[in-house]
Amino acid sequence: MGSKKYDMVITGGRVIDSALGFGKDAHLFIKDQKIAAIEANSPAIQRVLKTFDDSQIVNAEGKLVVPGLIDVHVHLREPGNEGAETIESGCRAAAAGGFTAVCCMPNTHPRIDSQETVKFVQDRAKNKDARVYVAGAITKNLEGEELAEIGDLVKMGAVAITDDGYYVQNPAIMRRALEYAKMFDIPVMQHAEDSLLSKGGIMNESYQSTRLGIKGLPAVAEEIAVLRDIALCRVTGSRLHIQHISTKRAVEAVRQAKKEGINVTTEACPHHFVLTDDEIGKEFNTNLRVHPPIRGAEDRDAVIEGLVDGTIECIASDHAPHSTEDKDAEFDRAPAGMIGLETTLALVKTYLIDKAYLSWADAIRKMTINPASIFGFQGGTLEVGSVADITIIDPDKRWTVKADKFRSLSRNSPYIGYRLSGKAATTILDGRVVFSGK
Amino acid sequence: MSGLSSRHLLGLESVPREDISMILDATETFREVLDRTIKKLPTLRGITVLNLFYEPSTRTRISFELAEKRLSADTVNFTTSTSSVKKGESLRDTVQNIEAMKIDMAVVRHSSSGVPYFLTQCMDANIINAGDGAHEHPTQALLDMFTIRRKYKKLDGLRVVLVGDVMHSRVIRSNIWGLKTMGASVALCGPSTLLPYDVEKFDCDVYTNMDEALEGADVVNIMRIQLERQQAGLFPSQREYTNLFGMNKERLRHLNRNYTIMHPGPMNRGVEISSEVADSDNAVILDQVTNGQAVRMAVLYLLSGRKEEGQ
């Protein structure tokens, strides 16, 4: 028989909801794909639990129960490069990493710069293991020259615009994009890297690039790009979201802009708060090649500081699958990017929470309610009545990253062999278990 | 058997002093062979050496090939431009195909830093780096050090100035590591636009004024300046480069007595070096070429037959 009042209960876990501002042991009840109740343990609740069938109960004792995690920066590679990832495999990877929602970037082939491509992605994403939100292009074919039909994109459901992978180099075009996007109240996401300064660069410009004789991508290219866009944002009053922030000066620029009241938000990726560029010379591992590049310790520490003081409100993976064949190449010829959906949570736990930079509540906020509010996604909270997107985390589970365990079609992770702590145990999307770890 | 601490020569950055001394000592022996009427030894008989040149090179390739032949090795050349390779098979596939033909040692030149390391991961042969990107060119630095050591009977305490495009020069990088390991004092000199980021961390004296750099130096090693750097906006004109950094007779007065002028070639006469200086008695530019062959013979000899650790 089981419970009729509820469809499912998650029992005995520690519920953390950063939006509601609490963390306490509670049972979480689901009905009709919605959060129906959150109840502390009591004799009365125990009696209610007795009405459930075993199949309706997810035991979360010793685990954390949090809103389904949200990653606002992923590349799903479909259409165009289905050998590296498909929407289906990317969603499987998301679920395995504890993410119930992702926002995919438009640099597919063809680009997501038309209603047709937005629709294509949305159709392919139906009934998969994660929600897929679509970011449309700022400019046609991501060429930085003419605005894409942003109104059309938004009408079809695009949640933001970005030319990710490319910086909108022309300041006049960027200004128009910001002004135009304001009509639709969507954020403009920018890959902030002045391409004239970074042209031909392969790795962070530092003593490491000097030592290895590899052309540098200077930090100042990001700083200038961020400062320019903040200035444009100041005059347009639009919403600017700086993607994958990676340098000390860029973080400082965003910090100051926020103090001034400019509407700028930002995200940081695990590789910019975990890794440093002295890793590259060890084995020329092409999985360490990424844009913006892995920086030095000072920049890494500044990104952490930005996460700690709230300057950086989102943690995103910049999940960028590339086939093993493409990555098995000379360092400067391999495509840039690394996968991240299945390691982000553990890297946050191991490198931010275990090192006492962030509490679980702070970390969860940056992966749930913050991105949800900036981009207008559902979920991000466990408030009664919200969609039942829930992640159950085994907070201290020790595991080793293994290439053959990825759900992603690609293997381009620099963390293979890393011993990490923390893992998604169960991922629930719309009240349905989409991932259940061992 | 006591030998080199590695079975490859990928660069000089991490090569210990004992290894460099061993290579330079062995070079003495081979250098003498080159003065004999019959310049051939049976040392590498039965060994097959692949010269894998992904970048155009005449001197280095010929130097290696002659060194291999004088040691009686069988040699094969694989010369290609990286652009044509890019369209076809991957580097790993190319190399594994070649190795399937039973290659014992490979000499590699490539425009990408790190390719020699990459090769150690996809083939069993001993790998010798003949220049990778702007990273390292260890045999060039070894021959430069050998040439200096032959003249002064030491490297310790000598003042060596490396002049030119520090940013793009693998020869300078390998010289920095090798010379510092051997106790020489190293100075770098070039236009500030061609000094790479954080160049001070090489822990050398860095100059942008040529006259100051040369003061009290024993050896000046002058690098070829590539004209495409000017086109890339890194300096305004060849004329200005020559005025500021060209090695000419007038500048010799800054140097110590018994100074030495070096150039790894090919020279742009009248640009980075004047003909008067290049052809003077203190210039050892052609000795460098001869010594280069001996150094490569020594490296081939010392690495040949070295298997993976534990074998």
Domain, as residue range, for B94: 17-137+290-304
What are the backbone angles phi and psi of residue B304, rounded to the nearest 5°?
A: -65, 140
Statement to judge: residues B123 and B246 lie in one domain: no
For residue B197, give the DSSP letter: T
Task: Look at residue B3 and tell me if it is in a domain.
Answer: no
For residue B202, give the DSSP letter: G
- Whole-angstrom CA distances from A421 to A351, A401, A417 are 9, 10, 13
pLDDT at B86 over 80: no
Please report which helix (H) or strand (E) contains residue A221, including its range.
helix A219-236
Tens digit of each residue's pLDDT (9 = 90 or more) over A341-400: 999 999 999 999 999 999 999 999 999 999 999 999 999 999 999 999 999 999 999 999
- Whole-angstrom CA distances from A333 to A160, A214, B51, B83 are 31, 12, 22, 11
Instruction: Name the token pair of B267.
Output: 């020279």
Helix, coil or strand: residue B128: strand
Give the closest residue to A317 by CA, choosing from A392, A267, A376, A363: A267
Task: Look at residue B1 and tell me if it is in a domain.
Answer: no
Statement to judge: residues B125 and B180 lie in one domain: no
Q: Render A339-357 in DSSP notation, one character per residue.
A: --TTTHHHHHIIIIITTTS
Global pTM value? 0.95
Task: Look at residue B173 and tell me if it is in a domain.
Answer: yes
Task: Look at residue B4 and tell me if it is in a domain.
Answer: no
Q: Which residue has the tokens 């020329």?
A: A284
Using CA atoms, how far apart are residues B199 and B167, in angstroms rounded to an integer?
Answer: 9
pLDDT of residue B311: 39
Task: Look at residue B215 and tell me if it is in a domain.
Answer: yes
Task: Look at residue B294 and tell me if it is in a domain.
Answer: yes
Q: Residue B151 is part of a domain; what is its CATH number?
A: 3.40.50.1370
Chain A residue at shortest CA distance from B174: A211
Tens digit of each residue's pLDDT (9 = 90 or more) over B4-58: 999 999 999 999 999 999 999 999 999 999 999 999 999 999 999 999 999 988 8
Instruction: Flag whether residue A329 sits within 8 Å of chain B, measured between CB atoms.
Output: yes
Chain B residue at shortest CA distance from A327: B90
Instruction: Flag whether residue A41 sits within 8 Å of chain B, measured between CB atoms.
Output: no
Using CA atoms, how far apart are residues B21 and A160, in angstroms rounded to an integer?
Answer: 62
Put simply, the answer to whether A284 touches B117 (Cβ < 8 Å) is yes
Which residue in B91, B167, B202 is closest to A330 by CB distance?
Answer: B91
Mutate to test the interface with A, among B113, B167, B201 (most CBs of A within 10 A): B113
Statement to judge: residues B282 and B167 lie in one domain: yes
Instruction: Summarize the confidence of residues A94-120 as an average pLDDT.
Output: 98
Statement to judge: residues B201 and B282 lie in one domain: yes
For chain A, list the domains and their CATH numbers: 3-65+387-395+421-436 (2.30.40.10), 68-375 (3.20.20.140)
> Which of the residues of A are catalytic?
318
Statement to judge: residues B270 and B298 lie in one domain: no
Statement to judge: residues B208 and B106 lie in one domain: no
Statement to judge: residues B194 and B217 lie in one domain: yes
Which residue in A213, A216, A329 is closest to B173 by CB distance?
Answer: A213
Say if residues A430 and A7 touch (Cβ distance below 8 Å). Answer: no
Put simply, the answer to whether B197 touches A328 (Cβ < 8 Å) is no
Statement to judge: residues B48 and B172 lie in one domain: no
Please report which helix (H) or strand (E) contains residue A421, including its range.
strand A419-429
Q: Give me the residues of A, 205-244, that contact B with CB < 8 A.
A: 205-207, 209-214, 216, 218
pLDDT of residue B1: 44
Tens digit of each residue's pLDDT (9 = 90 or more) over A229-254: 999 999 999 999 999 999 999 999 99
- Residue A429 Cα to chain centre, angstroms: 17
Mutate to test the interface with B, among A205, A214, A284 (most CBs of B within 10 A): A284
pLDDT of residue B191: 97
pLDDT of residue B309: 57
Query: Is the bond preceding A79 in cis, omega lying within 30 degrees of 0?
Result: yes
Task: Look at residue B89 and tell me if it is in a domain.
Answer: yes
Give the closest residue to A101 by CA, choosing from A370, A416, A436, A346: A370
pLDDT of residue B94: 86
Chain A residues inside the 8 Å CB shell of B206: none
Angle (nearest 5°) at CA A305 between A304 and A308: 90
Put simply, the answer to whether B110 touches A213 (Cβ < 8 Å) is no
Instruction: Flag whether residue B173 sits within 8 Å of chain A, measured between CB atoms.
Output: yes
- Provide CB contacts within 8 A for A25, sequence distance 6+: A12, A13, A14, A15, A40, A41
Statement to judge: residues B263 and B294 lie in one domain: no
Statement to judge: residues B252 and B179 lie in one domain: yes
What are the backbone angles phi and psi of residue B165, rounded to the nearest 5°?
A: -85, 80
Statement to judge: residues B56 and B151 lie in one domain: no
Q: Which residue has the tokens 């100041």?
A: A234
How many domains would you assign to chain B? 2
Task: Look at residue B129 and tell me if it is in a domain.
Answer: yes
Chain A residues inside the 8 Å CB shell of B175: none
Using CA atoms, how far apart are residues B20 and A104, in angstroms rounded to an integer?
Answer: 53
Statement to judge: residues B130 and B58 lie in one domain: yes
